[in-house]
Structure 1
Amino acid sequence: MKMKTYRIRKPKIVVVGGGTGLPVILKSLRNQSADITAVVTVADDGGSSGEIRESMNMTPPGDLRNVLVALSDMPQLYEDIFQYRFDKSDNYFANHAIGNLIIAAVSEMRGSTYEAIQLLSKMMHVDGHIYPSSERPLTLHAVFKDGTTAVGESSIAVDRKTIDHVFVTNTNDNEQPKAARKVVKAIEEADMIVLGPGSMFTSILPNLVIDEIGDAIINAEGEVVYICNIMTQKGETEHFTDADHVCVLHEHLNSKFVDTVLVNTENVPDDYMDPEIYDEYLVQVEHDFQKLRDEGCRVISTDFLKLRDGGVFHDGDKVVDELFRIVFGARY
């Protein structure tokens, strides 16, 4: 059998998720020689995104805005303007990011958020492809272990109940949610599919529980890599080990589809995190390497930690270095 090599071309890497974790990886990937596709959740219903989504009946722009910036080579001043958020005292515009308003305007002009993101990608010199996971706004539903339910991404963590599973529905009709154009093809052709880092139930799974996307990932020929969160998250993954994260992914798709897990082993200093800024993060995720292997995963554990501004993040450059070792066939 002929061995596959990627060195004669850029590896095709699809990154799936949302929230603040996805841009960290994308920024570092942009500095490497890769053919990047970002698949971004459209189930957010809070903050500026939620208000625009409700008033204009469009897919929420916030996560898409952050991904546009992460993959763009525009000057810092332009980025600062695009990311500027109006002051809380500014009445109608309070808390809205300028980039969200621009995406909303172009979406209205083009009749589609999907088309708006493609146009803005050209304007902002984006290095890669950005697709919303669905072309319609989705509503996220959570079913808790006690049998109760919650509707809407912003309401799921409020009561801090243990989540059994989540699913999505089209917000405006009863049709089955469908993947956006080119998303499935990108996954099928990828050399690697990267999940996370990000909130398990509200950033990663809302993409995977769209049947077409979940099936494409299960059947993907490329390596499926999960970047495990460093900290547990209030109302979502309290008391989770790294293996618990993977088990939830596998249970939702009823398949042991994750090939490799990246796990941070560097300790977060006690009392480092600023609870006033990062109040949703609780304690460092504990390790269960044997259970991860029982789930069929290769485990790569090392220092992926970056501390800044009173918060705990993945070091994008370290993560991407590891991703490239995997995609180029390095042996461990």
Structure 2
Amino acid sequence: MGRKKGKPRVVVIGGGTGLSVLLRGLKEYPVDITAIVTVADDGGSSGRLRCELKMPPPGDIRNVLIALADTEPLLEGLLQHRFVGGNGLSGHSIGNLLLAALMELSGDFVTAIEQLSQVLAVRGQVLPAARHAIVLSAEMEDGTIVTGESIIPKSGKRIKRVFIDEKNVRALDDAVTALIKADAIIIGPGSLYTSILPNLLVPGIVEAIRESKAVKAYICNVMTQPGETDGYTAGDHLKAIHSHVGNSLFEYIIVNNGTVEEEVRAMYAAQGQEPVDYSEEYLTRQGYKIVADQLLIYDKFLRHNAAKLSQIIMGLIEKKA
């Protein structure tokens, strides 16, 4: 049975800059986008607002709203602007403060997101994975427990698993509905332990993904992340997801098969990062269909080619239809 007529419904799950990069490309296509964003951040401006105003962290939500917005460059620059001075204002971005203000006015974080989405003419729907902030903890390989999304990668230890306190935490109803009705569910790219898994650990998210008849794909990171995925291959990323939420969550894995220029590679190696390699034999043996392409762009820093990723996603949707 093919997909119903109309715009394909694409749900993207993640957080951080990786999700924003993908959405900037995907919004140029005739698709109905829903972005489900992590609410585990506890560092910087987001962490301060989370603590002082008892609100979910707005930073990743802000970045996603801006990525999907139909705004002038000046407005985008204004929303991303961080104060460098001022008693209490230093470090805060205007976009974060706008979300905080709208939440105070409406009394609800989800409503605040909807209102700012209207102001910015956002092309799609942006939803937090849960209505309230979650606390992310990690058990390290030496048995110690580290609590705090921003602290975990700085511990200097290898991560065994991450977990959340599930008490009073459940997936947003709209997020569950979007996943079940989706034509495509895309997980990633983003920090494995602090952006991807915090979403999947929210009760109700994985169950909705499994129930959905959508085409499902995981976009593997192109570079390892210090303190999180040092030395990881694409297979290691999958092993971590399997150990947390089980396997067979998605059908496709999208990986980069392009090379990184030696000069750029050396620059990243100095920061403890290296390209994520993959074994076609291992991934196939695990039951995944591999989509490999040159997915890298370098412009001051390495990132995914949003246009090419979007083309791949649209191709998977057409194949499923």
| TM-score, normalised via structure 1 length | 0.92
What SS does structure 1 have at the residue aligned with 2:302?
strand
Q: Who is 1:301 aligned against?
A: 292
Q: CA deviation at 1:281?
A: 5.5
Distance 1:292 1:125 in 2: 40
The SS at the match of 2:319 is coil
How high is the sequence identity, in percent, across the aligned residues?
38
Which aligned pairs between 1:105-184 and structure 2 lie closer than 5 A?
Answer: 105-169=101-165, 175-184=167-176
Q: Which residue is equivalent to 1:292?
A: 283
| CA displacement, residues 40-96 of structure 1 (integer Å, 9 cap, x when unaligned) | 000000011101111100000000000110111011111111111112x44421111
How far apart are 1:184 and its partner, in Å? 0.4
Q: Measure, in 2, the Cα distance between the counterparts of 1:258 and 1:177.
A: 24
Q: Deviations over 1:10-45 (max 9, x none)?
A: 111000000000011111111000000000000000
| Residues 276-287 of structure 1 aligned to structure 2 (within 5 Å) | 282-287=273-278
Is 1:317 the equivalent of 2:307? yes
In 2: Cα distance, 1:100 partner to 1:250 partner: 34
Question: What is the aligned partner in structure 1 of residue 88 from structure 2?
Answer: 92
Contact residue 3 and residue 183 of structure 2 kept, 8 A: no
Quick one: distance in 1 between partners of 2:7 and 2:81?
A: 33
From 20, 28, 31, the equivalent of 2:28 is: 31
Q: Which sections of structure 2, spanning at least 5 residues, go unmatched?
A: none
Amino acid at match of 2:315: R
Kept after mapping to 2: 8 A contact 1:40/1:131: yes
Q: Does the CA-based 8 Å contact 1:231-1:281 persist in structure 2? A: no
Number of aligned residues = 321
Name 1:238's counterpart in structure 2: 230
**Which amino acid is 1:103 matched to?**
L
CA contact (8 A) 1:22 1:198 kept: yes
Query: Distance in 1 between the 2:157 and 2:213 partners?
Result: 36
Q: Is the 8 A contact 2:146 2:155 kept in 1?
A: no
- The match for 1:217 is 209
**AA partner of residue 20 (structure 1):** T
Aligned twin of 1:327: 317
Q: Which residue of 1 aligns with 2:14?
A: 17
Q: Which moved more, 1:22-31 or 1:155-164?
A: 155-164
- Tell me how far 1:221 sits from its aligned partner: 1.2
Deviation string 1:286-319 (CA, Å, 9 cap, x unpaired) is: 111111112211001110111011x110000000
Name stretches of at least 5 consecutive residues in structure 1 with no aligned partner: none
Which letter maps to 2:292? S
CA RMSD between the two structures: 1.8
Residues 281, 213 of structure 1: CA spacing in aligned structure 2 closer, same or farther, 3 A cutoff? farther
Q: Distance in 2 between matches of 1:33 and 1:259?
A: 23
Alignment map for 1:35-46 (pairs within 5 Å): 35-46=32-43
Looking at secondary structure, tell me which structure has more helix per residue.
2
- Distance in 1 between the 2:271 and 2:201 partners? 24
Q: TM-score, normalised by structure 2?
A: 0.95
Deviation (angstroms), 1:274? 9.0
Matched position secondary structure for 2:316: helix
In structure 1, C-alpha distance between the alignment counterparts of 2:113 and 2:190, rounded to whole Å: 21
In structure 1, the residue matched to 2:182 is: 190
4+ runs deviating over 3 angstroms = 273-276, 278-281
